[in-house]
A and B are shown apart, each in its own frame.
Chain A
Amino acid sequence: MEQIIKQTIQKLSLPEITFADVRITRTDNEGIFFQNGFLRGYSTNLDSIALGIRVLINGCWGFAGTRDLSNASIDKAIHTAISNAHFGSLFQKTKVEFPPLSPVQAEYEHHPEQDPFKMAKEEKIDYLQRLAEAIKPQEKIVHSIIYAAFMRQEKYYANSEGTYAHYTFYNTLPMMSVLASDGAQVQSRTWPGHMGAGRAGFEIFHKHKFEENTERIIKEATDLLSAPTIEEDKADIIIGSGHLALQLHESVGHATEADRIFGMEISYAGKTFIKPEMIGSFQYASPVVNIFSDSTDPRGMGYHPVDDEGVPGKKVDIIKNGILVNQQTSRQIAPLLGLEPSSNMRASYGDDFPLVRMTNFCLAPGKGTLDELIQDTEHGYLLDFTKTWSIDDNRNNFQFTTEIGYKIENGKIVGIVKEPTYFGITKEFWNSCDRVCGPEEWDYQSTFNCGKGEPGQSMQLSHGVAPARFRNINVRVKI
């Protein structure tokens, strides 16, 4: 592969090409799916190779991707990428400026504790079948799912500036869910929630204590059928890590992707309420809130030694003591904002066009444990495990429903509520944060499914978070 990518870059050293880069990915995917205790699907897509060529000609990008690495196919892709740039430049007012960068060489190989592609298939199936058996339909439980997705990707990157990177990683998505019904309504519980993926192999099932939590989700889903809803208009809420990761993702992560400032995502993913003049002064959040983008931490799925346009991994403060100080950027966009590129350009597969994406997008830890935070709360709710999420075109108005809420009275959990729903405006919400738990509660929460771009790309990324408390939040929504 190294030879192919370097030969391809060599073929792209043409006078008309200002900049070129090439990505090759070799990806293994495996999925195992149990429904109601029975194996419904075991699928693999192994050794999937994808190549993408991006060229900048006459100030316009052209791109071509293929999954055929024959010489003829690569030559065709080169020709198509160049042709696309030429024709694209016929409809252009402003040429893309792309400041040069020094070349970088990088290698990295991630080793999971339990390589899911080397484990015997029987071993995986046996373990998952035991889980499936434990949560299969029983009493009020009418439907259940066990799901595991394993991915290994080897990525090669080279550009016309001489940068070359080669790295390999494993990501795993584990999930179980149950649905309870009393005939009239249904309620669900999942474990470990929608952000339960991680940079790991099969060991992630043990880390998340799946076996120890089967009874819990069955009981909670069943109890939710007879649980009350939140009755007050406003309340203090503590958001658990699994759901807080999504709150951070939607209302800060996507909002600070700088391509949105320039309207590059209007046609699908949307815009942002952030304007360039806000950077450096906008009180995005309360002073206890510090948020950063960190592609240098190999524990998260957003780690890379070099991003998909040759920028070395970086840790960049986005919100410092509540003030918006930076953005997630690309080499094209950063100079337009007077910023340095933040190493956030990523493409899901080799034949995808790189976009500004989150890497490891994190809320810095504060102080204290979750138990201490609950004890410090007179009246409120601990919300966790995302059920529904929605945010507007400008990343300003959000509404979330979690699977379960734990009612807090005088520092103690006294019961549960079903489908707790809260909504707010991004700035007001993050300015209402008065406490973030400490390093002992901080960990990565990760997803396989962050959608952006057209044609769509599903990105795998992480959020480091600890539970946090938000005061006086709207928690009553009439349906």
Chain B
Amino acid sequence: MENLEYLKSLLDIHPELQYEIIEQYWTTDFLRFYHSQTNYNISKETTTLSATIYKGKKSFNFMLDNATSEKLDNAVHNALAIIDKLPEDPYFVDLENDKTLAKPREVKNNIEAIPLKLKTEILSRIAQAVAPHNFDIFGSFVCNYQKYRLINSNGLDKTSENSPYYLEVKAVHNKSQVTVIEAFGGEDFQYFREQNFIEHLLQKIGYCFNDIVDIEPGTYDVILAPRCLGEFAQYLTYGMHARSLDQHSSFFEGKLNQKVFPEWISICDDPDDPEIIHKDYGSNGHIYRYLSLVDNGIFRNFMCDNYYSHKTGLPKNGNTGSCLKIEAGDKTLDEMIGSVKHGLFISSLHYMNFINPKETSITGLTRDGTFLIENGKITKVVNNLRFTEKVARIFEHIQALENRSHPVPFSGNYEIFDIETVKSPHALVRDFNISSSTKTI
């Protein structure tokens, strides 16, 4: 962190400046596998120093990889040369001033705790377990370690580290290509139960030997697996950001403290749940704390950073929706499947995009196991399907939620590869709009 201190010293001699500096170290060990064998192993590491300098309402940002004092001298010189000539942002008021520090916690570096040899051994056992059923495994087994320090001219000085791991296995039948998925992720590898993981995968494989059918477009009662409901919740939160509200693109505009969903729907952002990958700080270093988003169907809070708090007048919280949790309901999964006369079980989603974010209209596809439910039982494999829906309507149409929530890891695959968890139960949704079939598995 010497570079950060050096940069701070360069900026502190200009009392007219405000600044935020972030230094981040990130490293990953990334094993990618296909057809029950290694595709490639990647190890990468980066150290990045980012600074945003403010002079009044004018600002300039620079980022440096592997900064040196010479590079920092140049960067500051260039920033000071231009900043007076830039136009102002009249909505900038002040930098973050929340100095609350996160509770210290012990972070184990999972790159060291789960070495490559152990990963290949685990994968070999999973591959052996599915092989008798003529399935191969595809996927990735990732460990990250990252730490960062953020300081600003308002006196914030915060450090944080985490080390998530993520195992995603898709089992693919070598002939039919029918696919099922099992994933596990978190921070403490002790929670990973290899035998449970394999049993869940084998249970899903058991559904794959039924006939493969197509279905007609129309509305269906569907059971959404936790990763599907979790992903829909991630899209729903687009409109829960103050930024979306400011940009006139929020479904929740004018709906604060109003009933938006059935009373059995509660969604929160909860970094303290032990099964969710923890986050110490949110936007601009604000402490990351529990935030109720939807409470018994009532929309409670926008997620709001320092800038948009000043601009919109909403209270700031620094939450970013990185620790989403959908509260469990009161039904078992078997009860929920048993209540469906003619419907679908959807395991995973693919390639979703908003059509109109304000209306939450969206299109996307199913993948990794779509099954027909007839008279309360999973009976057939269904080709992957396209849905065109409104995310808000999906939540409005939730009829029942499973009595337990499952942590589902998601990878953020752009910029730095990040891993987050969403905790979600299975959900029974009525009248889910299937708009076409892909006619393929």
Other-chain residue from B37, B62, B413, B439 in contact with A454 (beta carbon distance below 8 A):
B413
Which residues of A are found within 8 Å of B364, using beta-carbon distances?
Answer: 390
| B426 on the A face (CB < 8 A) | no
A122 lies within 8 A of B439 (CB): no
Q: Bound complex: CA of A77 vs CA of B41, how far in Å? A: 13
Q: Bound complex: CA of A451 vs CA of B441, how far in Å? A: 22
The contact string, 1 if C-beta is below 8 Å from chain A, for chain B 369-395, is: 000000000000000101011100000
| A273 on the B face (CB < 8 A) | yes
B44 lies within 8 A of A41 (CB): no
B353 lies within 8 A of A91 (CB): no
Which residues of B are found within 8 Å of A393, using beta-carbon distances?
Answer: 350-351, 365, 367, 384, 438, 440
The contact string, 1 if C-beta is below 8 Å from chain A, for chain B 108-122, is: 000000011100110
A65 lies within 8 A of B44 (CB): yes
Question: How far does the Cβ of A132 sit from chain B's closest Cβ, in whole Å?
Answer: 9
Which residues of B are found within 8 Å of A129, using beta-carbon distances?
Answer: 87
The contact string, 1 if C-beta is below 8 Å from chain A, for chain B 55-67, is: 0001111111110
Question: How far does the Cβ of B433 sit from chain A's closest Cβ, in whole Å?
Answer: 7
| B172 on the A face (CB < 8 A) | yes
A186 lies within 8 A of B358 (CB): yes
Chain A residue nearest to B29 (CB atoms) is A84
Question: How far does the Cβ of A264 sit from chain B's closest Cβ, in whole Å?
Answer: 5
Q: Bound complex: CA of A185 vs CA of B41, how far in Å? A: 48
Assess A125 versus B65: contact at CB under 8 Å? Given A63-B43, A87-B120, A454-B140.
no
Q: Bound complex: CA of A96 vs CA of B193, how far in Å? A: 32
The contact string, 1 if C-beta is below 8 Å from chain B, for chain A 446-479, is: 0000010011101000000000000000100111
Assess A38 versus B87: contact at CB under 8 Å? Given A267-B168, A390-B365, A397-B386.
yes
A45 lies within 8 A of B62 (CB): yes
The contact string, 1 if C-beta is below 8 Å from chain B, for chain A 122-156, is: 10010001000000000000110000000000000
Q: Bound complex: CA of A243 vs CA of B296, how far in Å? A: 42
Which residues of A are found within 8 Å of B127, using beta-carbon distances?
Answer: 91
Other-chain residue from B30, B35, B417, B440 in contact with A273 (beta carbon distance below 8 A):
B440
Which residues of A are found within 8 Å of B47, using beta-carbon distances?
Answer: 67-68
Question: How far does the Cβ of A95 sit from chain B's closest Cβ, in whole Å?
Answer: 10
Other-chain residue from B34, B44, B441 in contact with A262 (beta carbon distance below 8 A):
B34
Q: Bound complex: CA of A91 vs CA of B413, how far in Å? A: 25
The contact string, 1 if C-beta is below 8 Å from chain A, for chain B 75-105, is: 1001000100111111100000000000000
Flag the segment in A46-54, A213-221, A319-327 that touches B: A46-54
Q: Which of A69, A388, A396 gathers the greatest number of chain B CB atoms within 10 Å?
A: A388
B138 lies within 8 A of A68 (CB): no
Please count the residue pairs between chain A and chain B whose beta carbons lie under 8 angstroms apart in the complex.
Answer: 266
Q: Bound complex: CA of A181 vs CA of B121, how far in Å? A: 57
| B234 on the A face (CB < 8 A) | no
Other-chain residue from B61, B116, B359 in contact with A185 (beta carbon distance below 8 A):
B359
Chain B residue nearest to A389 (CB atoms) is B353
For chain A residues 156-189, which have a beta carbon within 8 Å of chain B? 179, 181, 185-186
B117 lies within 8 A of A90 (CB): yes
B38 lies within 8 A of A91 (CB): yes
B440 lies within 8 A of A44 (CB): no
Question: How far does the Cβ of A205 sit from chain B's closest Cβ, in whole Å?
Answer: 18
Assess A125 versus B87: contact at CB under 8 Å? Given A263-B172, A454-B140.
yes
Question: How far does the Cβ of B395 sit from chain A's closest Cβ, in whole Å?
Answer: 16
| A425 on the B face (CB < 8 A) | yes
Chain B residue nearest to A45 (CB atoms) is B63
Q: Bound complex: CA of A93 vs CA of B60, how far in Å? A: 52
Q: Bound complex: CA of A352 vs CA of B363, how far in Å? A: 31
Which residues of B are found within 8 Å of A353, using beta-carbon distances?
Answer: 40, 42
A-B contact pairs, 26 of them (CB 8 A): A39-B88, A44-B61, A44-B63, A47-B71, A48-B63, A50-B65, A60-B40, A65-B44, A66-B45, A84-B41, A88-B120, A125-B87, A185-B359, A186-B249, A262-B34, A392-B384, A393-B351, A396-B439, A397-B436, A397-B437, A421-B355, A454-B30, A454-B140, A456-B417, A477-B363, A478-B435
A-B contact sample (4 more), CB < 8 A, given A394-B384, A454-B413: A62-B40, A67-B66, A85-B41, A397-B438
Give 3 nearest A-B pairs by CB, closest first: A456-B413, A84-B41, A397-B438
